[in-house]
Amino acid sequence: MKPDIDTKERIEHMIKTFYASLLTNEDIKPVFANTDFVKHMPHMVAFWSFVLLDEAGYTTNVFDKHVNLPIKKEHFAIWLKHFEENIKNQFSGPKADLAIQRAQLIAYTFENKLKAMDKLD
Least confident of 60-69, 76-85, 99-108: 60-69
State the chain's mean pLDDT as an integer: 94
Question: Is residue 57 predicted with pLDDT exceeding 90?
Answer: no
Question: Is residue 29 predicted with pLDDT exceeding 70?
Answer: yes
Write down the pTM of the prediction.
Answer: 0.92
Q: For the residues 101-121, what does the mean pLDDT come to?
A: 89
Does 3 reside within a domain?
A: no
Question: Is residue 67 predicted with pLDDT exceeding 80?
Answer: yes
Does 88 reside within a domain?
A: yes
Does 75 reside within a domain?
A: yes
Number of domains in the chain: 1
The CATH number covering residue 99 comes to 1.10.490.10
Least confident of 3-7, 43-47, 112-116: 112-116
Q: Where residue 121 falls among pLDDT bands split at 50, 70, 90? A: low
Does 31 reside within a domain?
A: yes
What is the biggest distance separating any 2 CA atoms in the chain, rounded to whole angstroms?
45
Q: For the residues 90-116, what does the mean pLDDT come to?
A: 95
What's the pLDDT score for residue 106?
95
CA distances to 31, 47, 71, 111 from 66, in Å: 10, 14, 9, 11
- d(Cα 62, Cα 106) in Å, to the nearest integer? 9
What's the pLDDT score for residue 65?
86
Does 81 reside within a domain?
A: yes
Q: Which amino acid is at 69?
A: L
Does 121 reside within a domain?
A: no
Does 1 reside within a domain?
A: no
Instruction: Provide the domain limits for residue 73.
Output: 8-116
Q: For the residues 89-110, what does the mean pLDDT come to?
A: 97
Give the helix ranges, DSSP H, for the chain. Answer: 8-22, 37-53, 62-66, 73-90, 94-116
Does 16 reside within a domain?
A: yes
